Amino acid sequence: MCHFLAIAVAGLSCGLPFGFPFGFSFGFTRSLPAAGPAAPQARDARPSTPSMPSTPNLVVIYCDDMGWGDAPGFAVAGFEPPAYTREMPNLARLAREGAAFRHYYSAQPVCSASRAALLTGCYPNRIGIHGALFPDAKTGIAAEERTLAELLRASGYATGIFGKWHLGAQEEFNPTRHGFDEFYGIPYSNDMWPARIGRQHPELPLYDGLRVAELVRTMEDQGALTAKLTRRATAFIRARAAERRPFFAYIPHPQPHAPIAAGAGFTPASREALYASVMREIDWSVGEILAALDDAGVARETIVLFTSDNGPWLSFGSDAGSSGGLREGKGTTFEGGVREPCLLRWPGVVPAGAVSDVPWMSIDLLATVAAVVGAPPPAADRPIDGRDARAVWSCAPGAKPTQDAFYFYYHANHLEGVRMGRWKLSLPRKSRTLDGRPGGTGGGEAAYIERAVPLALFDLERDPAESQDVKDAHPEVLAELMRHVERARADLGDALVGREGAGRRACGRSGSGHGAAARE
Ligand SMILES: [Ca+2]
């Protein structure tokens, strides 16, 4: 399923617990050194060449509400991509120098839950995070969960987040309390300010560590964020590279989440063209990051992952992105809500120019990185859901999806869908839709309606838009998927059928806490 050139790979495994021996070589342009679990490198002993790929730098660029169809090369057959996807030279460069994963998933189609999965390797409902945490939320990520930043810091990495956190706004949930050395960014979404959700909420703070550095009060302030975050991220990259210290730079852009805003130099020709300008500025930011890696001489020893937290916020219409022909968008577990554009560059490991249709999910990132750096396994009482994705990343022939089944939960704990291979089971529920009506214009929002959707089986290979229920033609597939549903319900629960689940853990609660304020 990897459309590239033949790659000779030996010793690959898939779906094993991380930490297993892993050595392979490519048969085309270069050979790789073995990447077995290795002791963390001392901070001052890091080689400057990729001869020790067990400590690659990691850069994760995580957009907010960017659709699957918002990056070049992501569209179902016959769908006309937005014009701005042809004006993204830096994303095109990432695709050329790395691989495009067309069946990469976010774990949930909403901000906080999506980020919880990315940073812990767990389904967010396993660790008690759901929805989007509001400024008054007294909950956040539990101190006992191991974040990707904590894992890498324990392996000698410098860690920085430059952008939107959204895993708890109280001080005990600050990123600097969860593994990040540096935090420069906003604690929650860019629409959680008085201009949109009312005067009862505080001004939007821009943090520098534990301190509020300034307030984001105007759309001009919002428009300046992308450049400010990019400058801090590139400064961090250059400084850590100069110290020859491995680093993890997490760059979760607040854009293109509404209200959209572009910075100086990206003023659109018209209000209708603002979304395109925002996307072009994000592309510019990617170029700045890639240039910083080049200038510092660390591009070949750095993993760069570019993706988004969930699909487009379609009710904003002209201010929302494109799902590329997939069904629906943010706030739904149809493909347009949870499938995200994914570009991954890791010279010598990820074949340049490859396009892969092998599914993997954000929950797999932590397990994969843990395998690369040889991190200890998770605590016995804190199992994670992710699997080592290196076989998928390297586009190994015959590489299987990282998971036997991918589960799509939404709301507090609703199991809405399961993907197994080419098949996706859509479970009965209510799901929001514009029902064919256009979204808003100029920053206005059209109203969704809630519509009951029935049990359905979709063949994503033949029907990526999830338009034709084929369960009657494939009863054996339906039966196997229902066995996965039962496994998920026993472990993670399913509020749609009144199941609690034995494997769920509590989120963190602030000392002054009185309940969650998470909404979808
Ligand atoms: Ca989002």
Average pLDDT on 452-458 reads 98
- pLDDT at residue 91 is higher than 80: yes
Amino acid residing at 246: P
CB atoms within 10 A of CB 272: 12
Task: Answer yes or no: 63 catalytic.
Answer: no
Average pLDDT on 354-365 reads 98
Average pLDDT on 410-438 reads 97
Buried b / exposed e over 68-100, threshold 16 CB at 10 Å, is bbbbbbbbbeebebbebbeebebbbbbbebbbb
Distance 246 CA to ligand 1 centre (A): 29
pLDDT digits (tens, 9 = 90+) for 392-410: 999 999 999 999 999 999 9
- Choosing from 2, 122, 130, 166, the catalytic residue is 166
pLDDT of residue 186: 98
- pLDDT at residue 8 is higher than 70: no
Distance 314 CA to ligand 1 centre (A): 12
Q: Could you tell me the sign of the dihedral formed by the alpha carbons of 365, 366, 372, 378, in that order?
A: negative
pLDDT of residue 294: 98
- Choosing from 63, 111, 342, 395, the catalytic residue is 111
Higher per-residue confidence, 367 vs 12 = 367
Distance 426 CA to ligand 1 centre (A): 22
pLDDT of residue 199: 64
197-206, 213-222, 252-261, 297-306: lowest mean pLDDT where? Answer: 197-206
Which residues have a beta carbon within 5 Å of ligand 1, which is an ion?
A: 64-65, 111, 309-310
Percentage of the chain lying above the pLDDT 70 cut: 88
Cα–Cα nearest to 476, from 425, 438, 440, 409:
425
pLDDT of residue 196: 77
Distance 30 CA to ligand 1 centre (A): 38
Higher per-residue confidence, 436 vs 515 = 436
Task: Answer yes or no: 514 catalytic.
Answer: no
**Rounded distance between C-alpha atoms, residue 433 and residue 430, angstroms:** 10
The residues spanned by each domain of the chain are 57-403, 410-519
pLDDT digits (tens, 9 = 90+) for 109-152: 999 999 999 999 999 999 999 999 999 999 999 999 999 999 99
pLDDT digits (tens, 9 = 90+) for 191-222: 999 877 666 778 999 999 999 999 999 999 99
User: Hey, is 271 helix, strand or coil?
Assistant: helix
Confidence of residue 10 (pLDDT cuts 50, 70, 90): very low
pLDDT of residue 443: 95
Count of residues for the chain?
520
pLDDT digits (tens, 9 = 90+) for 44-72: 334 333 333 689 999 999 999 999 999 99
pLDDT of residue 198: 64
Distance 106 CA to ligand 1 centre (A): 10
* CATH architecture observed for domain 57-403: 3-Layer(aba) Sandwich (3.40)
Distance 421 CA to ligand 1 centre (A): 26
pLDDT of residue 479: 98
- pLDDT at residue 39 is higher than 80: no
Average pLDDT on 297-320 reads 98
* CATH architecture observed for domain 410-519: 2-Layer Sandwich (3.30)
Mean pLDDT of the chain: 90
Percentage of the chain lying above the pLDDT 90 cut: 86
Distance 186 CA to ligand 1 centre (A): 14
